[in-house]
Amino acid sequence: MTAAIEPSTEATAYPPALVALHWITALAFVAVFAAVEFHEYFPKGDPTRDLLMLAHKSLGITILLLVIVRLFVRSRVTAPRIIPLPPAWQTGIAHLTHTLLYAAMLALPLLGWLMSNAAGRPAPFFGLELPYLIGENKDLARPLKEMHELIGNVLYYVIGLHAIAALVHHHVFKDNTLSRMLPVGTRK
């Protein structure tokens, strides 16, 4: 007598809530980067420049909140298996890349918040003023700004690597790495 084959109940994709959080965070990053890059085209004191920086800071705090929710949800969800299973070195690079992404998503907004406080300004969040994490310290503001900019610049490359790797997995390795994080109606 042969045993009946049970249909697999193993998830082949991340839950829709986690997929939505991923793509909302990605869009927030595009907006954060666009705001900080475009603000340079306007002179200091120009209302558009100020509005772009306000958007940059508010969306940065939004990313911080999103990543906290993502980490909470992710801690309760088992990642769907990649099929076919990639070599250990690829998995190692993926884990390192994700660790760097999460670390940056936490560090950048916190550094921005600290930088604003050290410069004697509250951190804005869509019209609200967030509480001060530290007191005014002009000597600390500059190194915080430099660290914020350095991590932000490195993040451009890490996000690029992340996106390229997802596309390579999809088109070259023909695995489900990318489709696990695509919205339901777009999966193949």
pLDDT tens across 29-38, in order? 999 999 999 9
List the end-to-end C-alpha distance of the chain, in Å, as a whole number.
36
pLDDT tens across 41-85, in order? 999 999 999 999 999 999 999 999 999 999 999 999 999 999 999
CA separation for the pair 26, 110 (Å, rounded): 18
**pLDDT at residue 4 tops 50:** no
pLDDT tens across 127-184, in order? 999 999 999 999 999 999 999 999 999 999 999 999 999 999 999 999 999 999 999 7
Pairing of strands 123-125, 128-130: antiparallel
pTM: 0.89
Q: Hey, what CATH topology would domain 16-186 get?
A: Fumarate Reductase Cytochrome B subunit (1.20.950)
